[in-house]
A and B are shown apart, each in its own frame.
Chain A
């Protein structure tokens, strides 16, 4: 074993060579103190550098030829990571064991430089002696600079409709528009079963238009004698079928949780819940908030069943869809 080790060390020594420690300069004129050499540490550094190279090589090989391996990414990450880590280890050994760590004391830079401050201040003051209306000129400069700045910023106003509020109230729902599923198939009232919840859109929208917040609905059916809608929402249901906006009024997530008790006496009441912050809406009472942070009831779309049995909108929502903003209680959702 010793012979092998000697052989390796000899090979490395031959390969890399070792210079005689330079002792030409006398100790007093050196900047960095002379410390005795540390051959073991040098060998360790060489070994680590070698391992780093091997890892890096491994990365290159796996990258070039190993794309069919099942765990390519972990292998690539392991080889690249180890390449860096071995190199880091080599640097650490150099830092801790091979390079002198001096502790030097010196003064902090001065707190301030009064002479230079003085000169600067004088420069500024003296160069202004020709001005007689300093305050007025400063005001003028401020005015010009300020208005110029505003002018430069003004085109940014076109990034988006800064003053246009109307869009927030617009919805794709009109009186008589049919409710369809994600594939465009219209819903019949008989399709809507109790204890289930359905995704619905207005008929005729393309995929991009379906992403509007006011488009999507969550449709459920409750027993009519379970309903206790407030007076302003009377008649919004179609024999217990309720079409709520799918977008939570708290922060805009889609309401995709429906609590549908199988055996009502023992289980929590039906509820529409949002998965983001668990705002819980009671569908039987018009979407009132029973838990969670939402500050506004869930908007309800009035629906009716037409002569062929299809579900159609009777009008627009009872309020704007989506998260609240300053004017959300000022207007009903407009067609």
Chain B
């Protein structure tokens, strides 16, 4: 059948595509895929779009970065403070990109802001998924893919800002190395292997970090992301019970085309817009000010990026002890804050769907989401975990609090050591109680509405008769 002459462009293009790829049936289904339209479902998309910006800006940066720790002398007249200083080629290449190329600083700063926003969006998306029970059967797999992506994103971001080899990130790198060293039995061997020798490692370390950051991790994240989105689509989104028509069997939503597409595209373009705006207007990681890294140098006030702040807090809070058996140092100190703490948190995240199924006895399929108040125990435990992590995170900036507000750092540390255990339990119980009260309040409201409706009905019947 030939296309009629004068047929519009759309019809001709779709025909061309379908004839060559046989995808018209799938495209038809995809275009009418239903998206629940609650705003909280867009958080995952924000993370996705931040990832796209990361890849785009990242590719640009790979054309300028030099992944070598070979020492060079800086001769850039555009920044006198570093002139004549010895630094690695890696650091020099980033200083050059930032201060001596046209849009280099914009792209680099956008890249870094995108990383910060990427992880923040994932965390918010994780909160939405956790507190509404979206991870329940049949979506456990989707959820585990997501938690894994969060883990990968943390490593990827840490590698990314460590590649610059400035003073602050170099300090962060040796701390990461020390945490690896502290793993019982295998730590020293593992780190020796990874770094090709004792810190600062061999000249092969930097190319390794670079390849991990620009190839291995992005591919892993990309694959997991694809699988994650595929699973979401195959099983379809969950939904809140906002309308009576939304049930466990029926989904009500906006089709991908034409309703959802401009919104999602708008969100994508808007995310990119905000990131570029930040990338140009708010300075981030001005590495030319920190200077190059040397193992014998350090600065006060060195902090990791926010998403690793919980780890520096943990490292600072653990009291001074190495766990030894005779002469064998079983558990060096950094293990507790740097390895055990995140293992517990991520272990909790991975195990939670199974734990909840086991202790609630609920093995049903769930397509409808809970409001947080509808699952008091889950919400309470979630709040307790979040506050645990958050309090430890706050402890990490106690020194700055001392500088700004005068509260003694040493006292703060002692207070935090107590409250990181006490307050989460308190917050958990309070949350549980609040959820129960809210639920009870709804029952009262419903009863009141029913009683008022009956009274109105009785009044009408009396006036009629």
A contact set with B: CB distance below 8 Å: 32, 63, 67, 72-78, 80-85, 87-92, 94-96, 99-109, 111, 157, 159-165, 167-168, 199, 207-208, 210-213, 215-216, 246-247, 250-257, 274-279, 289, 291-296, 322-330
Find chain A residues with CB under 8 A from B228 CB: none
Q: Give the residue of B249, B255, B327, B332 whose beta carbon is less than 8 angstroms from that of A108.
A: B249
Residues of A within 8 A of B226 (CB): none
- Show the binding face of B for A, using Cβ within 8 Å: 32, 34, 37, 71, 86, 102-103, 105-106, 109-110, 138, 171, 174-175, 177-179, 181-182, 184-185, 187-189, 192-200, 202, 208, 234-236, 243, 245, 248-255, 258-259, 261-263, 265-267, 269-270, 272-281, 294-302, 312, 315-322, 324, 327-330, 332-334, 337-338, 365, 367, 399, 409-410
Residues from chain B with a CB closer than 8 A to the CB of A216 are 295-296
B280 touches A296 (CB 8 A): no
Asked if residues A293 and B328 are in contact (CB atoms below 8 Å), the reply is no
Chain A residues closer than 8 Å to B267, beta-carbon distance: 88
CA distance A160 to B11 in the complex (A): 60
Q: Report the separation of the CA atoms of residues A109 and B324 in the bound assembly, to the nearest whole angstrom.
A: 57
Across chains A and B, which 7 residue pairs bring their CB atoms closest together, nearest first?
Answer: A77-B280, A84-B273, A81-B277, A295-B322, A95-B262, A91-B266, A88-B270
**In the bound complex, how far is the Cα of B195 from the Cα of A323, in angstroms?**
15
| Residues of A close to B327: CB separation below 8 A | 329-330
Q: Which residue of B lies closest to A257 (CB)?
A: B300
B258 is contacted by which of A32, A73, A291 (Cβ under 8 Å)? A32
- In the complex where A80-B276, A277-B315, A326-B187 touch, is A72 in contact with B245 (Cβ < 8 A)? no
Contacts A199-B296, A208-B71 given: A161-B302 contact, CB under 8 Å?
A: no
Report 27 cross-chain contacts, Cβ distance below 8 Å, ordered by A residue.
A76-B106, A81-B281, A88-B269, A89-B266, A89-B270, A94-B266, A95-B266, A101-B37, A105-B250, A159-B193, A163-B189, A212-B295, A216-B296, A251-B175, A253-B175, A275-B301, A276-B171, A276-B298, A292-B320, A293-B319, A293-B337, A295-B322, A323-B177, A323-B182, A327-B188, A328-B329, A328-B332
Q: Is the CB of A77 within 8 A of B281?
A: yes
Q: When the two chains form their complex, are residues A88 and B273 in contact, meaning their CB atoms are under 8 A apart?
A: yes
Give every chain A residue within 8 A of B193 (Cβ-Cβ). 157, 159-162
Contacts A104-B34, A159-B193, A160-B194 known; A88 to B333 CB distance under 8 Å? no
Q: Pick the residue among A81, A99, A325, A327 that contacts B182 (CB under 8 A).
A: A325
Tell whether, in the assembled complex, residue B322 and residue A252 are in contact, meaning their CB atoms are under 8 Å apart.
Answer: no
In the complex, are the beta carbons of B197 and A160 less than 8 A apart? yes
Which residue from B187, B194, B334 sits with its C-beta under 8 Å from A251? B334
Q: In the bound complex, what is the Cα–Cα distance between A77 and B270 (angstroms)?
A: 14
Q: Which residues of A contact B296 (CB under 8 A)?
A: 199, 210-211, 215-216, 246, 254
Inter-chain contact A77/B194, CB cutoff 8 Å: no
Q: For chain A, what secondary structure do more than half of its interface residues adopt (helix, strand, loop), or is it mixed?
A: loop
Taking A76-B103, A95-B266, A251-B174 as contacts, is the C-beta distance between A325 and B188 under 8 angstroms?
Answer: yes
Contact A275 B299, CB 8 Å, known A91-B269, A100-B259: yes
Residue of A nearest to B334 (CB): A251
Contact partner, B316, options A75, A278, A324, Cβ 8 Å: A278
* A49 nearest CB across to chain B (Å): 12
- Within the assembled complex, what's the spacing in Å between the Cα atoms of A111 and B280? 49
Residues of B within 8 A of A75 (CB): 280
